[in-house]
């Protein structure tokens, strides 16, 4: 058949006519029409015949065709680990959820299998490691995550508690639940979320279908933390797509839509939307007929109608059970709801706890803390400080010398310090301090010779004021603090002590100036690592100040911040948080300021050391924004903030992210402090560590060598900071296989710790163990063995029982002995180390694996195959995870 469109058109025309004719008429008609092309007759007849049939492939359902044709060679899932699949419960965006039964235990579970997310072996490790975190999340209102692992082909799956229940919003509607009941349920949900946040787990995908109300009327939250896990399964380039796939647009927070960092505040947004739905029976935005792209635009650009308006609108009725709520109550509910789901994360409730507290206030008829227009941090109204473009020299001269003049002029004024005077003096001091410690990024830090000379001159000037002892004391204190900032602790000590003594002479044992001096001296003691003395001084000072001044007086806040820092140093994190949080609350009502920044920074650090990384991260991000607004984007405070954020990521094991933050920080801090400053060194060390953990050894060593050079110069060759950097260098060297270099690094580290702490300190043992590791890597077994033995002995002496360092050292010792074939001797240390390490909450599993493997070999060689098999079996069950030691 020729490919002639015109011909085809003609054939069709004939066909349509012929098909309506009777059979008899047809042939005649065609023969008449197709005189010039007789073959067309047969063609059209053929078409007519075909028209009468209906058995070609075109008549079939595409589904059956597809079924037949598509590759079904992959067998369906029947068994997952010890579970047998019973049926499909549902299909979600990322995979299928099955109902499964564990036959040996006759228990049910829900298993979510993530199709199309086949994990590479490296990611499998990480996946298993992360789920460990989630498995600790145990709470009656949170659906348990029992296990997570991968199928043999790398497909990940989660084993979760099987929960039967009704989605929260459906339940409330069905039961026509009154307001009290809805709020009670909602509060229970919030509590569960708060528990998770306290363990640094953010849900990220809260929505009513993830909150089931069970038969006993209590809610259970599902899918906790899975969203984060799922995000990490994809290549970073696709992460935004994955994140978007995961979200249900209606509950997605603006920062999720924009691909910005997610935190506890994101869950709070979702809780707000859920509350909105519970109160109005509707979602805040009508996204029903929009494409997801349009939905995002709506959420980002529009304000939701207030719940009170929606529920009381003409022509609509509130959800069943919610009739009869008064106008005042609705106003409060509006505030609750809209604060939680504010578009700007900083304007939401800062913690779920805060939301719960306001819920309680509401139920008790008390006023809420969140007020409709309250801006917790008035960033946009801030005036950026205008630093004089003078050099430090001139500025310092002006200030320090001018202070003398200032106070001289004030000779005539009354000596009794009123609150305003003290506050002003405080501000002057702070201005001076900040000038020296980083007010102007052009000026740079104040450790240049000129400034020091000026300070000396200032001290000299101050001595002139013998006739004005109180002013003199003030100046001594100011100068002492400046020296402290510069790191000259001895000078600071004598000055601050002199100030205190002077004030005591003037005011007696108690007085506001005395109290302030005590706080300042207390802070110095902190730097000098004399914690007891430090705390004593600060507490005394704080008590005195509190008696005289109101709670939001700058001196009081200073003292509270100082106390918070001390408690943090001591590891009393709960108390530290309590003190600092109060100070932050007090300050934040007055808008952003340097004091607020300092205090918030301490609070964020406390969270970090306490292990609440999520809280620290959230707070640090807010702080970063505030500092950028307050000081400008290249200010060292911003650099510090970036370092903190990097530290958090490092702690979470996100070394690439940590590296990114550290580099950004380095950029700022290096240009501010100069390339040879201890702060730069410290930054470089952290960067180096992040690089080492990623295996980027060359870059790591560059950074670390630079840091080392600075530290040696500034602190001298024998200093703990130097030793710490040498440790990192040793690790990097070992990773590149350069054993001689590693050995040299560790030897030096050992000698430093010997000199600084003595040979009976756990850090000395740590250096010994590291050096021994190098010997082991070089197969110098007897040297390694001897040194490991010493290290183990010293660890035992200096650390609490069952400590990780001791356990790992034992395993290393056992490993060496096993390598030498000394099976019987190897058994003891291996077993002891293994048991101690397994008992840990989050053991470093690489060493567990080593221990197991070695023990299996040992027992095989000792002719005890059952024991060997036992250890092998344990290895098979547990996912093999590689992690930093």
Binding footprint of other proteins on the chain (CB under 8 A):
3-5, 8-9, 12, 15-16, 19, 46-48, 50-51, 53, 56-58, 61-72, 74, 76-77, 88, 91, 93, 96, 113, 115-116, 241, 244-245, 249, 291-293
Q: Which is nearer to other proteins, 99 or 506 (CB)?
A: 99
Angle (CA) 765 839 191, round 5°: 120
Q: Which is nearer to other proteins, 88 or 258 (CB)?
A: 88
Q: How far is the CB of 244 from other proteins (least distance, A)?
A: 5
What CA–CA distance (Å, rounded) separates 600 from 594? Answer: 10
How many of the other CB atoms lie within 10 Å of CB of 310? 17
Q: How far is the CB of 524 from other proteins (least distance, A)?
A: 56
Q: How far is the CB of 37 from other proteins (least distance, A)?
A: 16
How many of the other CB atoms lie within 10 Å of CB of 215? 8
DSSP per residue over 113-180, as a string? E-TT-PPPHHHHHHHHHHHHHHHT--BTTB--EEEEEE-TTS-EEEEEE----EEHHHHHHHTT--HH
Nearest to 875 by CA among 864, 866, 855: 855
Q: Which is nearer to other proteins, 151 or 452 (CB)?
A: 151
Q: Which is nearer to other proteins, 59 or 216 (CB)?
A: 59
Q: How far is the CB of 427 from other proteins (least distance, A)?
A: 51
Residue length, the chain? Answer: 885
Q: How far is the CB of 209 from other proteins (least distance, A)?
A: 16
What CA–CA distance (Å, rounded) separates 417 from 422? Answer: 6
Output the six-digit token pair for 588.
């934040």
Q: How far is the CB of 604 from other proteins (least distance, A)?
A: 35
What CA–CA distance (Å, rounded) separates 741 from 484? Answer: 37
Q: How far is the CB of 253 from other proteins (least distance, A)?
A: 16
Q: How far is the CB of 84 from other proteins (least distance, A)?
A: 15
Q: How far is the CB of 235 from other proteins (least distance, A)?
A: 14
The 10 Å CB-count burial string (b at 16+, else e) for 562-582 is bbbbbbbbeebbebbbebbbb
Q: How far is the CB of 117 from other proteins (least distance, A)?
A: 11
What CA–CA distance (Å, rounded) separates 563 from 557? Answer: 10
Residue 407, Cβ density class (10 Å: 0-12 exposed, 13-18 middle, ≥19 buried)? buried
Q: How far is the CB of 370 from other proteins (least distance, A)?
A: 33
Output the six-digit token pair for 557.
């806040």
Beta bridge partners of 147: 159
Output the six-digit token pair for 134.
């989630």
Tell me, letter by letter, the H, E, C secondary structure of 554-596: HHHHHHHHHHHHHHHHHCCHHHHHHHHHHHHHHHHCCCCCHHH
What CA–CA distance (Å, rounded) separates 216 from 642? Answer: 47
Structure letter (DSSP) for residue 542: H
Q: Which is nearer to other proteins, 72 or 550 (CB)?
A: 72
Q: Are strands 145-150 and 219-221 parallel, antiparallel or unpaired?
A: unpaired
What CA–CA distance (Å, rounded) separates 151 from 27? Answer: 67
Q: Which is nearer to other proteins, 55 or 416 (CB)?
A: 55
Q: How far is the CB of 207 from other proteins (least distance, A)?
A: 16
Q: Which is nearer to other proteins, 58 or 412 (CB)?
A: 58
Q: Which is nearer to other proteins, 91 or 505 (CB)?
A: 91
Q: Which is nearer to other proteins, 96 or 709 (CB)?
A: 96
Q: Which is nearer to other proteins, 11 or 701 (CB)?
A: 11
Q: Which is nearer to other proteins, 204 or 342 (CB)?
A: 204
Nearest to 435 by CA among 402, 469, 472: 402
Backbone angles phi, psi at 166, to 5 degrees: -110, 135
Q: How far is the CB of 156 from other proteins (least distance, A)?
A: 14
Q: Are 341 and 273 in contact (CB under 8 A)?
A: yes
Q: Which is nearer to other proteins, 96 or 397 (CB)?
A: 96
What CA–CA distance (Å, rounded) separates 818 from 2? Answer: 82
Q: Which is nearer to other proteins, 47 or 133 (CB)?
A: 47
Structure letter (DSSP) for residue 675: T
Helix, strand or coil for residue 70?
A: coil
Q: Which is nearer to other proteins, 9 or 551 (CB)?
A: 9
Q: Are 219 and 142 in contact (CB under 8 A)?
A: no
Output the six-digit token pair for 130.
């992360």
Q: Which is nearer to other proteins, 56 or 288 (CB)?
A: 56
Q: How far is the CB of 63 from other proteins (least distance, A)?
A: 5
Q: How far is the CB of 295 from other proteins (least distance, A)?
A: 9
Q: How far is CA 55 from the centre of its chain?
A: 62
Q: Are 152 and 165 in contact (CB under 8 A)?
A: no
């Amino acid at each position: 058949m020729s490919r002639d469109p015109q011909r085809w058109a003609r054939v069709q025309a004939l066909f349509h006519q012929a098909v309506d004719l009777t059979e008899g008429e047809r042939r005649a008609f065609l023969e008449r029409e197709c005189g010039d092309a007789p073959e067309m007759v047969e063609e059209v007849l053929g078409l007519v015949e075909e028209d009468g049939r209906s058995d070609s492939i075109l008549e079939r359902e595409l589904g059956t065709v597809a079924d037949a044709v598509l590759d079904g060679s992959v067998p369906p899932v029947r068994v997952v680990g010890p579970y047998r699949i019973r049926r499909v419960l549902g299909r979600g965006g990322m995979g299928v959820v099955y109902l499964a039964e564990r036959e040996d235990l006759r228990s049910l579970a829900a298993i979510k299998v993530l199709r199309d997310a086949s994990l590479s072996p490296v990611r499998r490790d990480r996946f298993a490691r992360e789920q460990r975190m989630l498995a600790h999340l145990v709470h009656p209102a949170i659906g348990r995550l029992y296990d997570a692992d991968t199928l043999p082909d790398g497909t990940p799956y989660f084993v979760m508690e099987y929960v039967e229940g009704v989605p929260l919003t459906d339940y409330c509607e069905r039961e026509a639940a009154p307001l009290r009941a809805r709020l009670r349920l909602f509060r229970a949900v919030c509590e569960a979320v708060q528990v998770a946040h306290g363990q640094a787990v953010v849900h990220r995908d809260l929505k009513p279908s993830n909150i089931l109300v069970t038969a006993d009327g209590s809610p259970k939250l599902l899918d906790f933390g899975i969203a984060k896990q799922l995000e990490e399964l994809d290549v970073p380039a696709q992460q935004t797509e994955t994140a978007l796939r995961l979200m249900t647009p209606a509950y997605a927070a603006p920062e999720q839509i924009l691909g910005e960092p997610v935190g506890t505040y994101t869950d709070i947004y979702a809780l707000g939307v859920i509350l909105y739905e519970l109160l109005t029976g509707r979602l805040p935005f009508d996204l029903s007929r929009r494409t997801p792209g349009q939905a995002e635009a709506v959420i980002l650009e529009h304000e939701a109608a207030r719940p009170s308006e929606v529920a009381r609108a003409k022509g609509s009725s509130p959800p069943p059970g919610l009739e009869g709520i008064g106008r005042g109550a609705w106003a409060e509910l509006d505030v609750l709801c809209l604060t939680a789901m504010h578009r700007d994360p900083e304007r939401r409730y800062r913690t779920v706890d805060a939301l719960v507290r306001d819920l309680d206030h509401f139920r008790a008829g008390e006023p809420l803390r969140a007020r409709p227009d309250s801006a917790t941090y008035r960033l946009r109204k801030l005036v950026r400080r205008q630093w004089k473009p003078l050099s430090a020299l001139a500025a310092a001269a002006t200030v320090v010398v001018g202070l003398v003049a200032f106070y001289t002029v004030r000779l005539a004024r009354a000596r009794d310090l009123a609150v305003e005077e003290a506050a002003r003096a405080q501000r002057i001091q702070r201005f001076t301090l900040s000038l020296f410690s980083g007010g102007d990024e052009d000026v740079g830090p104040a450790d240049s010779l000129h400034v020091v000379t000026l300070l000396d001159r200032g001290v000299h000037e101050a001595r002139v004021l013998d006739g004005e002892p109180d002013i003199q004391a003030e100046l001594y204190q100011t100068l002492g603090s400046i020296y402290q900032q510069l790191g000259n602790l001895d000078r600071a000590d004598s000055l601050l002590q002199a100030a205190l003594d002077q004030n005591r002479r003037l005011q007696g044992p108690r007085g506001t100036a005395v109290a302030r001096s005590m706080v300042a001296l207390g802070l110095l003691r902190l730097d000098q690592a004399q914690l007891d003395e430090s705390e004593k001084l600060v507490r005394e000072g704080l008590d005195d100040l509190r008696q005289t001044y109101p709670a939001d007086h700058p001196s009081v806040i200073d003292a509270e911040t100082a106390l918070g820092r001390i408690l943090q140093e001591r590891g009393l994190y709960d108390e530290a948080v309590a003190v600092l949080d109060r100070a932050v609350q007090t300050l934040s009502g007055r808008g952003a300021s340097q004091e607020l920044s300092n205090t918030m920074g301490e609070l964020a650090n406390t969270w970090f050391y306490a292990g609440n990384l999520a809280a620290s991260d959230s707070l640090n991000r807010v702080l970063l924004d505030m500092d950028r607004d307050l000081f400008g984007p290249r200010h060292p405070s911003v650099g510090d903030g970036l370092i903190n954020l990097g530290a958090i990521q490092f702690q979470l094991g996100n070394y690439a992210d940590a590296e990114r933050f550290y580099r950004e920080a380095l950029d700022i801090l290096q240009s501010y402090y100069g390339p040879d400053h201890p702060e730069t060194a410290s930054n470089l060390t952290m960067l180096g560590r992040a690089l080492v953990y990623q295996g980027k050894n060359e870059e790591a060593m560059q950074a670390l060598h630079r840091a080392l050079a600075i530290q040696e110069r500034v602190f001298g060759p024998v200093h703990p900071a130097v030793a710490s950097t040498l440790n990192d260098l040793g690790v990097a060297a070992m990773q590149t296989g350069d054993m001689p270099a590693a050995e040299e690094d560790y030897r030096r580290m050992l000698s430093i710790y010997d000199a600084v702490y003595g040979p009976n300190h756990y850090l000395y043992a740590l250096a010994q163990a590291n050096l021994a590791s190098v010997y082991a890597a070089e197969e110098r077994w007897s040297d390694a063995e001897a040194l490991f033995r010493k290290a183990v002995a010293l660890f035992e002496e200096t650390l609490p029982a069952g400590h990780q360092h001791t356990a790992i050292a034992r395993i290393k010792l056992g490993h060496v002995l096993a390598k030498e074939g000394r099976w019987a001797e190897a058994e003891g240390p291996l077993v002891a180390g293994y048991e101690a390490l397994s008992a840990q909450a989050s053991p470093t599993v690489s060493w567990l694996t080593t221990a197991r493997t070695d023990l299996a070999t040992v027992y095989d060689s000792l002719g005890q195959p059952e024991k060997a098999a036992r250890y092998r079996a344990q290895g098979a069950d547990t996912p093999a995870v590689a992690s930093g030691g």
